[in-house]
Amino acid sequence: MTLSWRVKNSKMVVWQTPDSGDVMGPFNDPVTNLDRIWLCSDFDYYQVAFDQSVTLSHASVSGANTSFASIFTIAGHYVESDLAVLTHNLGYIPRFKVAIGAELIPNGWAIQTPAGGDNGARLVSFYATTTEIRCKDMGWATASTLAAKSQTYEVVVFEIPTADNTKPVFGGKLGILCQGKFDANKAHLRRADAGESSPFDILTSKAGDINFGAYKMFTGDGTSKTFGAYGGSMSAPSAA
């Protein structure tokens, strides 16, 4: 394998040289030749700003029975809360990922599903503001109380790289390239090598299925959770 590189004006590209054909193709059209690109100043690189384990305390949800005109009774109680996860103060809404152990979790992930199918559940969804990563905690109880839960999350927040035209495209401080858009001295999100484990497998197709009011969801490693009396037949989707 031979690598080529070229700097022209403010553009820098490092690529795997094609064995034949247009050897400058990856420089002139990096997107079309993405499989050969090793580094390109046109692209944004997911540089890690924060990598923290955060433990959240999810409050219990009391059970309830609601009677309607003494004719029938509905068991159930829903409580939604908004929890601070971490403060980043980046001044913009960043990209981020949240995992539990070795599972990258999608929004709406069930962290509590008591046995019995319809005995309540707790779902979590995460979102970013210009200063914080926050968690929407959605808890359902039936006639019985949904217990409190302490859950640890691995939260990775990425900086959005920007070019600084006072810095060189190639040169300057060791490992800083593309006018500062890529800093080899810092951690970045990258594609895992073959056989390498990662908690951040990303699904390349739909993550869940709904069946008669119940649903089933998957993480990137094929782990699934169901909410309610799910009777569908969705199998694990593919991941990258």
pLDDT at site 191: 77
Would you write out the chain's pLDDT as a tens digit for each of its 240 residues? 789 989 888 889 999 998 888 899 999 999 999 989 999 988 988 999 999 999 999 999 988 777 776 676 677 788 999 999 999 999 999 999 999 987 888 888 889 887 655 567 899 999 999 999 999 999 988 888 889 999 999 999 999 888 888 888 877 666 788 888 888 888 888 877 777 777 677 777 777 888 877 778 887 777 787 777 778 888 877 766
- HSE, side-chain direction, 13 A CA sphere, residue 133: 24
Domain boundaries, the chain: 3-45+161-183, 48-158
CA neighbor of 161 nearest in space, from 14, 13, 44: 44
pLDDT at site 199: 67
pTM comes to: 0.80
In b/e form, how buried is each residue of 199-218, taking b as 16+ CB within 10 angstroms? bbbebeeebbbeeeebbbbb
pLDDT at site 118: 58
Domain topology for 48-158? Immunoglobulin-like (2.60.40)
Instruction: Specify whether the CB–CB gap between 38 and 48 falls below 8 A.
Output: no
